[in-house]
Every structure is written in C-alpha cells, then in structure tokens.
Amino acid sequence: MTALDEIKIGGLGASRKRVEDNRFIRGKGNYTDDIVLPGMLHMEILRSPLAHARIKSIDTSKAWDIPGVHLVLTGEMMATRNLAWMPTLSYDTQAVLATDKVRFQGQEVACVIADDPYVARDGCEAIHVEYEPLPAIVNPTQAVAPDAPIIRDDKTNQADNVIYDWEVGDKEGTDRAFAEADVISKLQLHYPRSHPSPIECCASIADFNRATSKLTVYMTTQAPHIIRAAVAMVAELPEHMIRIVSPDIGGGFGNKVPVYPGYVCSILASILLERPVKWIEDKTGNLISTGFARDVYLTGELALRKDGKVLGVRMHTDADHGAFFSDAQPSKFKIGLMHSTFACYDIPVAHLTARGTYTNKAPGGVAYRCSFRVTEAMFFQERMMQAAANDLGMDQAAFRRMNFVRDDQFPHRTPFGFLLDSGQYAKCLDVGLEAVGYQDFQRQKEEAKARGRLLGIGISTMTEPLGAGNSREYDILGIKMFDSAELRVHMTGKALLRTGAKTQGQGHETTWAQIVAHELGIPAEDVTVEEGDTDTAPFGMGTYASRSTPVAGAAVAMVSRKIRAKARKLAAHLLEVSEEDVEWELGRFYVRSAPDRGVSIQECAMAAYSNMPDGMEPGLEGNAYYDPPNLTWPFACYIVTVEVDPETGVWDVLNVVAVDDCGVRINPMIVEGQIMGGLTEAYAMSNMQFITFDAEGNCVGSNYMDYLLPTAWETPGYELHEVVTPCPHHPIGAKGVGECAAVGGPAAFVNAVMDALRDTGVRNIDMPVLPDRVWEAIQFGRDVSGAPPVKTDE
C-alpha cells in the first residue's frame, strides 16, 4: 500500500481551486437580492437629511394614498410595539425609527412597504417630515465643549456626550519610565472614519408565516446565530420559531455584523402584513447609516533610552462613536483590543487611557477587516515607532529589531496583559528587507535627493490578536466566543460538514473540506460544506475578526478527530484485531504487525451503517464545540517604497513587499488572496478612502462618486513572502490571516511618504495622505490634520 498523497486529495497545504467559484463564475450565486418569494413586497427607508434635529411632525397620508403602498411605518408605530429602540452590541440603545429627534444624517425615519421598490420609493418621497434643526457635533472636541448640546437626551443619567472613560495598564510605572527617559517622542494623529463598504449592500427578506408561527429571515449577516438570539430578545419571538439564513454574501468586512434598523423593520412589516418583505439597501444608505470604522484620535508618547530601547508607552485615545454606541466588541472592553498595541515589542510598562464620545454621525465602530480596533492600535504603534526612530536618529529597521520580542522570549506577557505564544519577528523583518533591497534603496534615495526627487521607504511590523475567544475573556453580549462544527460521514465515505461560521468570500467551502481531508483522508472533493442556516448549522459566533480558521477551523479538525476515533473502533472490528493493534495513516487504518492488512476510511464509513460491532451506536457523525485556549498571534512585516512629486504632492507606490507569518497555511492560494485584498484596503485607507463631515454634519463621502475606492488602475502590485511559525495551541498550527495586511499595511504606506518628507521636519499628515495635504506639508513645513469638520465648496 502506498500512502495517500495529501496534496492530491486536496488536504493541508494544497492550493485547491475554489468550490464556490463554480457558481459565481456562472452568475449563479445566491445573494439575498436574488431570492424571490411568492407574494413578496418591497421596503424602502426614508432617511433624515439633517444631522441633528427635533422631529416636529411626520405626515404619511400622501404615501398611504399611492396605489401599491401596503404599509407605512414610523417611529410612533414602532413604539406601540416597543420596537422604536433596540439594544446595541455595546450595551447602549439605538433608534430603529426616530421618534423624538434625528441624531445623524441618514438616520432611519420611516419605511414604506409596497408592491415593488419603485413604488416604495415613491411612497418615501410622499412623506412630509417637519424638522427643527439643532446644532450638530462632528468631532470629540466639540462633543465635550462646555456648551455642547446633549445628543442623547433620550437617556436618563446622560448629562454630557461622554460614553466612557476607560484605562488599562500601569500608570505609576509608566510615569516612572517617562521620568527616567533620555528622550520622549510624541505624536498626535487621527485615524479617519472609514467604511468597510462591501460592494453588496445590506439586505433582508423577512417571511413570517402566521399558520406555523415561524419567522424566516434571509439576510446579509456575518453572524446568523447572534442575529437569531437578538431577534428572539428584541422581537420577543421564541428562538426555535426563528430561522436566519445567510445566503451568499457579497463581501462583509465587518459591515454585516451588527443589527440594523432595516432588518428590524422588514421583520415587523412581514409580521403585520403576513407576507414576505424584502429590503435592499442602496449604496448611500449603506455608507451613511451602517457600521463605520475607526475615527479615533491619538496622543501617543514613547519613553526612550539613548541607545534606542523603548522604556514605556503612554497613549490616550479619543474615539468618535457617532450617535449610538454600537461597536461590535467583547463586553469587557470599551475600545476593543486597542491595548494589543506594541505587543510585538519587548516593553516593560505601558498605560492607555481612552474616552468615547457621542457625535451627530452614524453609529458603528465595527471591526473593519480587523479584530476590534486592532487596526488603530497597530497604526498608532507603527507611526509612533517611526517618529521615535527619527527622533533618536536611528535606522527605522534597526530600531524595530532591537525592541522586538526575541524568539527565545516566548511565551511572553505584554505590559497590557496579553500572552504571546510564538513568532520569529526578526526573521520576518530580514526577509522583507532583503526582498525590498533595503540598503540599495537607501543609496537610491540619496542619489534621487541630489536630483530633487523625493523617495521614501516605510516599514510596518506587528503581531495582532486574532481568533477570539477564549471564552474566559471574550464574548458578545455575554455569549461566549467559541465556535462549532458538525460532520456527517455518509455510508459511501462522502461527507457533509457544517460550521457556525459564515463565509463571505474567504472560501470556507474549499478550505474546511481540506481540513477534513487532512484529518481523515477523505478527498476534499467528497466533502460538502454548508454554513449560514441557523436551522441546520450548529451554534457559532460567525465570521469576523479573523476568527474562522482559529476557532471554527479548529472545531473542524476536532470533530474530524472524533470521527476518526470511532472509525478506529470500526476498523478494529473489520480487521478482527483489538483497537490497540490498529495504526492510522492518512485515509487508512492497518494492523500494526501486518501493515498490508488495512481498511480505508470509506470502508469504515460503510461499516458504520452496515456492519457495526455489537453494542456500537450506528452512524458516523459528530460535532465539536471549540473554545480556544488563547488568541492566535500572526506576525507581519510590510515594506513600501514611494516617490513623492514635490510640485503636486502626488505619490506613487514603487514597491510593496509583504512577509506574513500566519502559521500553517491550509490553502496557500487563498491565504495569498486574503493578503492581497488586505494590502489593497491598506493602500486605500492611506491614499484616498475616508468619510468625513462638514460643520453641519453633512456626510462627505455618501456615494462612490465621493467615497473613493481604488480601482485596478491605481492599485499597486504586491510581492508576497512567507515565514511559518506554527501556532502552538491550534490543532493544525494555523493562525488568523484575513485581516493582517489591512491592519499592518496602512502604516507602511504612510511611513513611506513621511520618510520621503523627512527633511521637511513634518511629523504627521493624517490619512488619507491626499496630494493637497502632502503639498501643504511640503510648502509650509507643517503637520496636516484631517479631522472634521472639513470645508465644503460653498
């Protein structure tokens, strides 16, 4: 017998072509908007044009008069069912439809349900709302000003616009470190508000069946089981009578984690009308009302010894949460995992204070391609590291290297309490420097300078916490962050796998089958993967924060091992030996003393249905719930080179090198696809993509004409490298990866531009590093802030 070739059966390490592509390339995907139910009606939302205003009256009579309109919902009607407000994922409340005031531009005011979406939109236009405008607040400084209007006057005990004051770390120890420092390096900056903006907007089809009392909701959600729990609690429907189906999703990036008013309204409308109600959000609705990301101000300081050793970190963050505190994050933390900052550096002491404020902007604070504010944490870290290297007059690569947690220091406890378990940081940096030609570039840069050209090189190195939980520390609304998998092996050895995660482009249908192939030797093509239907999938917390491979993927390995344990008993029975005498190799059990005598996993599967030993429960299926012992800690080194045109401020990317250590790669092709996608989001945020506001709270960036996303034309090419340090606690050694490049990447781009401008003495230009900001920095030799309000054309 020759052993199975794991790559040939699509196992671990195979760049297997994706199963899901077969339908997508034919235009046969099944996205929410593709679903049509008999008798289905269509819903549109009327949104507030003002950022802050009291509602004096709403007249819906003309909308009701339009033929084809079935229902007009207002906040007043929602209130009679106790649904005008709903809880958020951060223990706050959010208006479903406004009753008293509107608190941001784009807030949901009314809904019209009609025969088709055109008529529903006609209905919205026929509604007359009378507003009394109030002063708008568009940044945290305005929010805490003494005369600031109170945005959340709906809440008792809310005397100002502050949501929380929070701190973590060792204040006294940090103060001592700063007192002993040779040099203190300080940096102030703003990580601008951004929007994940998947191409597919949010959507739902609610279908309440009065005869069975069952509510089925097809919707764009990354976490269908959390939605089921939320609907059970908010709408007071019994959980077993709620079925959430998340069909194909056209990108999520964190935007499709929260519960949005549109979902709730479509559900209520379906209950009232006893017909299916479809809501398809338009792009402007998506950009101005659903979960934004970032919008955090930093004041950061590093205590430094002359030789380059970092002695301590002091940070204060001011987060602008918009009108409702609806961050999707574990309940213990107020500013997500911001305190994972500086984790890859061996720093004795650190202290972080954080304040959150309400403003008249959309709520959200979602983990946009990151693990709960980790993107801000790593951006601040790497911008501060570059500024500190410059302040010390040190080489930025050498400065990082001397402060890294060394390979022999694991496990390593960070000053904020995280436990790092593995990594080869210096090796990753070396691979990156070699690939980009670091020394040679420094020479080119000097030569270019002599001819009046500005070249720059930016480095970003970071480890980030991915794959929440463990359940001791991580939960969403009290629900612990574990995940699950259920595996059924049919009698012919084919299998059906279901997990509590939900793919949105990550390729779970392909990679989960590879884990089964690795553990059981069943060819990946023989394994069907299903996710997203709460009536069939085991309970899970969904896909975001790069948690699927670390948690659900681990559950897939663990359930496969349970199946293998039972198959071993079946093998012993078939081989007529004791279980102890049976050995395993990929896809086959054999007799230890006679390796030629063996049975395949497929033969064991058949026996489970046709020839099981006396007393054995028939069948070959099982499930596993996996609670990870720790987060996974991938490491990455991103290096970018740029040329800045001093006349125009335009900068061009010359080279992007990415070195990712995400542990064992299940499907290298898919991993590389994730990294390139993340790098593009990093480039986008550094170069063009942001949502800002004018002084009246008007959203600038409310459609794709104003909210710029990079196309194939601007986007640079990428050179990818890998280092592999297996995760010591994950069953197959994998770490999260989907978000690394989006998290670590932005600082590399910005650092490169700032490096090119180093002789100007400018310390910071806020993202996006637009040409006019670069030009201003060069012309006037000053820092450039991007904080709102911005001036408009008028």
Q: Can 176 be counted among the known catalytic residues?
A: no
Residue among 98 and 529 whose Cβ is closer to another protein? 529
| Min separation Cβ 703 and another protein, Å | 5
Show the binding pattern over residues 705-734: x = contacts another protein (CB under 8 A), - = does not: x---x-xxx-x-xxxxx-------------
Burial of 715 (0-12, 13-18, 19+ CB in 10 A): middle
Q: Note whether 566 and 622 are within 8 A (CB).
A: yes
At 296, list the tokens.
């955090």
Q: Note whether 496 and 669 are within 8 A (CB).
A: no
Q: Who contacts 8 (Cβ-Cβ below 8 Å, separation ≥6)?
A: 14
Residue among 4 and 41 whose Cβ is closer to another protein? 41
| Min separation Cβ 28 and another protein, Å | 7
| Min separation Cβ 63 and another protein, Å | 13
With contacts defined by CB under 8 A, name the span among 13-21, 204-212, 601-609, 693-701 that binds another protein: 13-21
| Min separation Cβ 546 and another protein, Å | 15
| Min separation Cβ 481 and another protein, Å | 24
| Min separation Cβ 261 and another protein, Å | 20
Q: Note whether 563 and 623 are within 8 A (CB).
A: no
For the CA atoms of the chain, what is the radius of gyration?
Answer: 28
CA distances from 717 to 105, 369, 433, 658, 688 (A): 37, 20, 18, 11, 17
Name the active-site residue from 739, 740, 763, 773: 739
Q: Note whether 465 and 420 are within 8 A (CB).
A: no
The H or E element that residue 444 is part of is helix 438-450
Q: Note whether 73 and 109 are within 8 A (CB).
A: no
The footprint of another protein on this chain (CB under 8 A) covers a number of residues equal to 65
Residue among 29 and 771 whose Cβ is closer to another protein? 29
Return phi, psi of residue 485, to 5°. Answer: -150, 145
Return phi, psi of residue 635, to 5°. Answer: -120, 150
Name the active-site residue from 103, 294, 355, 369: 369
Selected binder of another protein within 201, 310, 454, 575 (CB under 8 A): 201
| Min separation Cβ 548 and another protein, Å | 14
7 binds another protein (CB under 8 A): no
Rounded Cα gap, residues 376 and 321, in angstroms:
14
With contacts defined by CB under 8 A, name the span among 93-101, 388-396, 621-629, 667-675 that binds another protein: 667-675
- 228-233 long-range contacts (CB < 8 A, ≥24 apart) are 228/534, 229/477, 229/479, 230/87, 230/259, 230/477, 231/267, 233/87
66 binds another protein (CB under 8 A): yes
Sheet-wide strand order for 277-280: 69-74, 108-114, 41-47, 277-280, 203-209, 214-219, 242-245
Residue among 312 and 507 whose Cβ is closer to another protein? 507
Residue among 92 and 672 whose Cβ is closer to another protein? 672
Selected binder of another protein within 119, 134, 428, 515 (CB under 8 A): 119
Q: Note whether 729 and 628 are within 8 A (CB).
A: yes
Selected binder of another protein within 6, 76, 115, 627 (CB under 8 A): 115
Q: What is the 3 state secondary structure string of 613-654?
A: CCCCCCCCEEEEEECCCCCECCEEEEEEEEEECCCCCCEEEE
Q: Can 739 be counted among the known catalytic residues?
A: yes
Name the active-site residue from 124, 370, 428, 662: 370
495 binds another protein (CB under 8 A): no
| Min separation Cβ 666 and another protein, Å | 14
CA distances from 46 to 28, 41, 98, 335, 790 (A): 32, 17, 11, 32, 26
With contacts defined by CB under 8 A, name the span among 112-120, 360-368, 439-447, 614-622 that binds another protein: 112-120
62 binds another protein (CB under 8 A): no
Q: Note whether 255 and 182 are within 8 A (CB).
A: no
Sheet-wide strand order for 454-463: 454-463, 635-644, 651-661, 719-722
Q: Can 222 be counted among the known catalytic residues?
A: yes
For the chain, the straight-line distance linking the first and the last C-alpha, in angstroms and rounded, comes to 79
Question: Looking up tokens 């009308």, which residue turns up?
Answer: 273
Residue among 202 and 344 whose Cβ is closer to another protein? 202
17 binds another protein (CB under 8 A): yes
With contacts defined by CB under 8 A, name the span among 127-135, 195-203, 378-386, 475-483 that binds another protein: 195-203
Selected binder of another protein within 540, 677, 697, 733 (CB under 8 A): 677
Rounded Cα gap, residues 396 and 386, in angstroms:
6
Check whether the bond before 39 is cis (ω within 30° of 0): no
739 binds another protein (CB under 8 A): no
Nearest residue to 734 via CA among 672, 673, 671, 674: 671
Name the active-site residue from 222, 396, 504, 689: 222
Residue among 91 and 704 whose Cβ is closer to another protein? 704
Residue among 297 and 638 whose Cβ is closer to another protein? 638
Residue among 200 and 421 whose Cβ is closer to another protein? 200
Nearest residue to 691 via CA among 710, 706, 713, 672: 706
What percent of the residues of the chain are helix, what percent strand, and what percent coil, each to the nearest 5?
30, 25, 45
Residue among 18 and 309 whose Cβ is closer to another protein? 18
Rounded Cα gap, residues 578 and 27, in angstroms:
53
368 binds another protein (CB under 8 A): no
| Min separation Cβ 775 and another protein, Å | 25
Return the C-alpha torsion angle 580, 582, 584, 589, nearest 10. -150
262 binds another protein (CB under 8 A): no
198 binds another protein (CB under 8 A): yes
Selected binder of another protein within 3, 199, 565, 594 (CB under 8 A): 199
Selected binder of another protein within 169, 364, 507, 523 (CB under 8 A): 507
| Min separation Cβ 347 and another protein, Å | 33
Selected binder of another protein within 74, 197, 270, 686 (CB under 8 A): 197
Q: Can 370 be counted among the known catalytic residues?
A: yes
Rounded Cα gap, residues 364 and 343, in angstroms:
26
Residue among 249 and 354 whose Cβ is closer to another protein? 249
Residue among 25 and 159 whose Cβ is closer to another protein? 25
Footprint on this chain of another protein (rule: CB under 8 A): 17-18, 20-29, 31, 33-34, 36, 66-68, 115-116, 118-119, 122, 197-201, 248-253, 282-284, 504-507, 669-670, 672-673, 676-681, 703-705, 709, 711-713, 715, 717-721
State the catalytic residues: 222, 369-370, 739
